[in-house]
Amino acid sequence: MNKITYYSQQYGLNINVKKTKLMIISKKRITEGQLYVNQSPVERVTHYNYLGTIINKEWTNNQEIRARIAKARSTYNRIGAFFKSHNFSLDTKVRMLRCYVFSVLLYGVESWTLNEVMSKKLEAFEMWLYRRILKIPYNSSGILCEMNPDMLLLQAILQGKIFGKRGPGRRRTSWLKNLRIWFNTTSVQLFRAAADKIKITMMIANIRNG
C-alpha cells in the first residue's frame, strides 16, 4: 500500500483515506490485518458499496437484494400517483413498472446467486407491485385462499362471519354491525375503505353532514 501511495503521488494522485476501505475475504477468521496510507490506518469493514452494489466478506447477495428491494419500493412510491391514475392503460403502467422500478430492482442481477429465501422475497415484492397496479386488496378471495388456516380464522372473526348465537350477557349487536348500518355498506367494503385514509374520512364526514 505504501508503494501504491508513493508512486501515485509521483503523478499527482492522492489516495483519500476516508474513502478507502479494507475488507478481508477468507475461509479462516482473520482478526489481524491493517493497511496504512501516509501513516493513517485504513478502515476495516465487513461490507462496502462498490459501483452501486453491496459487497460483503461472506460473498453472499442477501444484503444486496434487500437493499435493491428497498430502493425499488422507494422508486415506486415516488411515482405512485402515476400508477394510481385512471388516465393510463394497464399496458402503459406495466411498461413504466418494468422501465423505472424493475431496472432499479434488478441492477447487477447477473452476479446474484439466489437461494430459496431470497427468491421468495423477490417474488413477494413482485406480487406486491402487481397488486398495487391492479388494485387487488389483500382480502380478495384469491389472496385469502393462499393464506394459512390461522389467518383465515382471524379474517372470519374480524368480518363477523362466525356462526352461532350470542350467549347470555353478551351484547346484542356488534360495533361492526353498527358501522354497516350507519354507512349502509358491507363488512368487506368497510375494510377496503378503512385502508384508504381519504375515503374513510369522506365517509365519516358525509354521515356527520347527513
Q: Pairing state of beta strands 43-44 and 21-22?
A: parallel
d(CA 10, CA 175): 80
For residues 97-101, give the mean pLDDT.
Answer: 93
pLDDT digits (tens, 9 = 90+) for 19-38: 888 888 777 777 777 888 88
pLDDT digits (tens, 9 = 90+) for 36-53: 888 888 888 888 888 888
Q: What is the pLDDT of residue 157?
A: 58
pLDDT digits (tens, 9 = 90+) for 182-202: 788 887 788 788 777 788 788
Hey, CA dihedral for 73, 79, 83, 88, is it positive or negative? negative
Q: Which three cell numbers stand for residue 106?
A: 434488478
